Amino acid sequence: MPASMPDGACASGQGPEGGEPKERSRQASAAAALDEVIALVRAASGVDLGLYRRATIERRVASRLQKLGCADYRQYAERMREDRAEAARLVEHVTIKVSRFFRNAKVYARLEEEILPTLWRQAEGRGLRLWSAGCGRGEEPYSLAILLAEAGAAKGEGRGAPTILATDIDETALAFARRGLYPESAFEEMPTDRRERYFLARPGRHGQQYEVSPCLRERVSFFRHNLLEDLAQFGSGRFDLVLCRNVLIYFEAKAQERIFRYLADSLRPGAYLCLGEAEQPPASQRRCFEVIDHRSRLYRKTSSELGQEGRPA
């Protein structure tokens, strides 16, 4: 934290006599200043940080204050007015997802052994459509591409057109994913033989790096997408499998429900949804999904009757 804390942002004790009203006043002033920061980000980038959990935003902004040497939220807001690129930096800092290939290997094993074979049978020759929502730097969609490549090879099928949509709100993360060049640490949960088969070793400034092979690149399409704003971009009932892992936890409850309704609407009947370890469907929508694997947070859509506010009709 900065040597001088954001005014009222982290204080929880009471001062001397009369300190409690002063503390409330400081907290109100800090909240108003943080709202000003949020408004500046919304105007500059279209991203509404007000829909994220307040504690998350406070932690991320405090980190930027420390890095820039700003004393409080108001000083940070002034810095943001002077440097328009700072809004994008804050969005990146808030939304950044640290991941690895085949992170949580049990989930991918379930996808490989049960979910994808079931989807191949249901598709009856039609191309599968998968969506990695909140894909970060691309480890998740490229992991899915490996599973599809191996499933297709086992069935004697060609590689075909890209079948995986990968989206994120962070352009910096998407640029990294499109470049497809990863450090060795990204492969901690991937078997070495898969890495050697699907990645090309490249010398890097900080050690060995690995570049995604063309057979994976052609399966994945990357797009910038805001889960809270671009609600009609990809249509209804389009996808066979949607992965949205460790995204919902960053949002307030109403925003979570809005996003979930959108994800649910994007799935075909009988399609599958995979969430993060600490996530689950909102109570108002659980009857529309069958639990396939609670520990892996895998669900199957059983109903398309979602009401306007995310409630089953």
Residues 119 and 151 in one domain: yes
Give the length of the chain: 313
Structural domain contains residue 178 = yes
What is the predicted pLDDT for the residue at 13?
Answer: 43
Number of domains in the chain: 2
Q: At what angle do helices 19-45 and 85-95 cross, to 10 degrees?
A: 100
Last residue of a domain, one of 50, 75, 95: 95
Question: Alpha-carbon distance 290 to 282, whole Å?
Answer: 13
**Following DSSP, what letter does each residue of 250-276 receive, concatenated?**
GB-HHHHHHHHHHHHHHEEEEEEEEE-
pTM over 0.85: no
User: For the chain (length 313 residues), average pLDDT per consecutive 10?
Assistant: 45 51 81 94 91 93 94 94 93 84 94 92 84 96 94 55 84 94 94 95 87 94 90 81 94 91 92 94 86 94 60 37
List the domain range (segments joined by +) for residue 296.
105-301
What is the predicted pLDDT for the residue at 156?
Answer: 47
Residues 129 and 213 in one domain: yes
Pull the structure tokens for residue 203.
């010398």
State the Cα angle at 90 between 86 and 95, rounded to 5°. Answer: 150
Residues 53 and 87 in one domain: yes
